[in-house]
Structure 1
Amino acid sequence: MTAVTDDIPGVASGPRLAGGLAFAVVSALSFGLSGALASGLLAGGWSAGATVLVRVGLAAVVVLPLGIWALGGRWDVLRRNAGTVVLYGLLAVAGAQFCYFSAVQHMQVGPALLIEYTAPAAVVCWLWLRHGQRPGPVTLVGAAVAALGLVLVLDLLSGADLSPVGVAWSLAAMVGAASYFLISADTTSGLPPLALAAGGLVVGSLALALLGLVGLLPMRASTAAVSYADREVAWWVPLLVLGLVTAAVAYCTGIAAGRRLGSRLASFVALLEVVAGVLFAWLLLEELPRAVQLVGGLLVLVGVVGVKLGERQTARVEPTPA
């Protein structure tokens, strides 16, 4: 298994930075759409387990041919990185989603999502402890501002009941999310991003199916029409979008972003997923965001900029690893 990541600050610049940010934004928007779409399916009789299995399974079917094409016959690269692919599928795909859905069975969605999205802080701590990449003061301030923005976006200032069991599941989901950013940013393995995405989705699908077979992940489906913003659509429409957009596109662009930006910056840009989730809930579920949530979204953007500025300062004072 290769090293998880060597996240060199300041690597991304110019077109590489612009491309990485574009991929990261597309990934965040795609992931952010999943919550609103899944809510309609859950209200229509689908279980969380069945929804996430179809989502990941469909994405695996779509991305697998692309992953094989990206390998170009270099099966030795896949064999050398088999451990990384399995770890990615179990933690970043199946683990993160299974733990998140388990968390929301015991607590509100907002607090569970906020706890999961402490992952960027975990990424910064890992890079500091494991690779000696000590965050500068600007990075720390940016992280704090982004965290405050998330609190406002999720409207937690009014207070929320936290279940110890739910918190434990949310922290486990955070580990999965942090693993997603760290493994996605690994540029030393030689494994193409599409191959990593395909392998992870296949492993994740198999793991979720196994959880369903043993009864740990309830599987319940329905062919009833699904309602969004007072409009009904066929049940297969949101499932198709969940698989193609919120999984296939989201994971592929997320890995591409991590390769260009590094795990630290990519993880903070991914905080836009929470903002996107609020906006899509507004459009599809008619859940209007409050003014405080809009302010929170702005703070998230400010925090992301702060993290990038902090990386540039770190790049000037830290030697580049050989």
Structure 2
Amino acid sequence: MTHDVRSSEIAASRTAAGLTLAVLSALSFSLSGPLAKGLIEAGWTAGSAVTARVLIAAAVLAIPALVALRGRWALLRSNLGLVLAYGTIAVAGCQLAYFNAVDRMQVGVALLIEFTSPVAVLAWMWFRHHQRPSRLTVVGALLAAAGLVLVLDLLSGADVDPLGIVWALGAMAGAAFYWIISGDEDNGLPGIVLAAGGVIVGGVVLLLAGVIGIIPLAASRSDVVLAGTSLPWWAALAALGIVTAALAYVLGIAATRRLGSRLASFVGLSEAVAGVVFAWLLLGETPRSVQLVGGAFILAGVVAVRLGEPKVAGAPPAGVAP
């Protein structure tokens, strides 16, 4: 009985730590949209902003990752395919898609589309692990779909950038991949090694794409204006790379390994809320009423999807992937 109580306390402590890390990660990620849009409006292309962001994160995380790896190169070689996929899809693909969406629509709208990703995570869990969704899960998915229509303001006949929608949906797919891979501890890779490997691969992919002309690269030394205040371009860029990438990815992986992919993706919805608030405070982007209603539908839908999932009998012990 003493062992059971101690195990319960450890599980509760692990969950509490995971929730704290997940919220901090979400707050860090949520600043990326306003900072990137500020750089874009100052003369940067979306491709340049995301490439610089990822490369700065790679430089920051490289040495700590080597220390954490402690010479276990065989472990890295055995997971090379995973790291390559993580860097290409979850880092380069997701962020480039998101920043291109931000370039064509409001930050809050792009975020709310991206954050239907928990529904995609649950669909994957059904397909991969045969966890059939309940009726409440289906209702939640329908609510999220209805909310998406409202967020895009399709019913009022408002102009919508189709390419912006495609980019935002691409970001959603990349985010779902991020949650699924980040929650896997079976590979044995320390979280900071996975984060560093991902941003290094992502940075190289983005840089090569820019060199061969797939991604337009252009930068400017003009000041970035946020909340009516001018900031040096390098300050905004440093914050974009260190806070919204290096710190955010490490915290996110640590949180997801404690909470599991599904719960972490649900808690990660706080990024959408924080992103809308930061876009309002820093960029003056006030969402329309119908978009607020749509956002509420999306959030309610994802909550319903989460609550409709089958309950897990017990929390997994530390070091075991859910």
Global fold match (TM > 0.5)? yes
One-letter code aligned to 2:184:
D
- 1:179-190 alignment runs, 5 A limit: 179-190=177-188
Corresponding residue for residue 5 of structure 1:
none
C-alpha displacement of 1:43: 1.2
TM-score with structure 1 setting the length: 0.83
Determine helix, strand or coil for the equivalent of 2:225. Answer: strand
Q: Among the aligned pairs, what percent are the same residue?
A: 57
How many residue pairs match? The answer is 308
- 1:260-279 alignment runs, 5 A limit: 260-279=258-277
Corresponding residue for residue 314 of structure 1:
311
Seen in structure 2, the aligned counterparts of structure 1 residues 166 and 286 have a Cα distance that, compared at 3 Å, is closer
Check if 1:79 corresponds to 2:69.
no
C-alpha displacement of 1:139: 4.6
The partner residue of 2:279 within 278, 281, 285 is 281
8 Å CA contact 1:265–1:304 kept in 2: the answer is no
- 1:17-56 alignment runs, 5 A limit: 17-56=15-54
Corresponding residue for residue 246 of structure 1:
244
Seen in structure 2, the aligned counterparts of structure 1 residues 283 and 73 have a Cα distance that, compared at 3 Å, is same
Which stretch of the first structure deviates more once superposed, 70-79 or 151-160?
A: 151-160
Seen in structure 2, the aligned counterparts of structure 1 residues 112 and 183 have a Cα distance that, compared at 3 Å, is same
Which stretch of the first structure deviates more once superposed, 188-197 or 282-291?
A: 282-291
* Partners of 1:168 and 1:305 in 2: CA distance: 24
Seen in structure 2, the aligned counterparts of structure 1 residues 40 and 164 have a Cα distance that, compared at 3 Å, is closer
Corresponding residue for residue 207 of structure 1:
205
For residues 31-50 of structure 1, the C-alpha deviation after alignment (integer angstroms, 9 at most, x for no partner) is 11111111211111111111
Determine helix, strand or coil for the equivalent of 1:232. Answer: strand
8 Å CA contact 1:135–1:314 kept in 2: the answer is no
C-alpha displacement of 1:153: 7.1
Seen in structure 2, the aligned counterparts of structure 1 residues 104 and 37 have a Cα distance that, compared at 3 Å, is closer
Corresponding residue for residue 197 of structure 1:
195
Seen in structure 2, the aligned counterparts of structure 1 residues 104 and 241 have a Cα distance that, compared at 3 Å, is closer
For residues 246-277 of structure 1, the C-alpha deviation after alignment (integer angstroms, 9 at most, x for no partner) is 00111111111211111112112222211111
Corresponding residue for residue 168 of structure 2:
170
Determine helix, strand or coil for the equivalent of 2:248. Answer: helix
* Partners of 1:40 and 1:72 in 2: CA distance: 39
* Partners of 1:160 and 1:89 in 2: CA distance: 36
8 Å CA contact 1:265–1:307 kept in 2: the answer is no
For residues 10-34 of structure 1, the C-alpha deviation after alignment (integer angstroms, 9 at most, x for no partner) is xx95111111111111111111111
C-alpha displacement of 1:171: 3.2
* Partners of 1:235 and 1:255 in 2: CA distance: 29
Determine helix, strand or coil for the equivalent of 2:219. Answer: coil
For structure 2, the 5+ residue unaligned runs are 1-9, 315-320
C-alpha displacement of 1:188: 0.8
Which stretch of the first structure deviates more once superposed, 166-175 or 270-279?
A: 166-175
Corresponding residue for residue 8 of structure 1:
none
Corresponding residue for residue 13 of structure 2:
15
8 Å CA contact 1:111–1:162 kept in 2: the answer is no
Seen in structure 2, the aligned counterparts of structure 1 residues 184 and 252 have a Cα distance that, compared at 3 Å, is same
Which stretch of the first structure deviates more once superposed, 79-88 or 155-164?
A: 155-164
Determine helix, strand or coil for the equivalent of 1:314. Answer: coil
For residues 207-248 of structure 1, the C-alpha deviation after alignment (integer angstroms, 9 at most, x for no partner) is 000011011111111111111122111111111110111001
One-letter code aligned to 1:77:
L
Cα RMSD after superposing both structures: 3.2
The partner residue of 1:219 within 217, 226, 230 is 217
Corresponding residue for residue 3 of structure 1:
none
One-letter code aligned to 2:263:
L
Corresponding residue for residue 7 of structure 1:
none
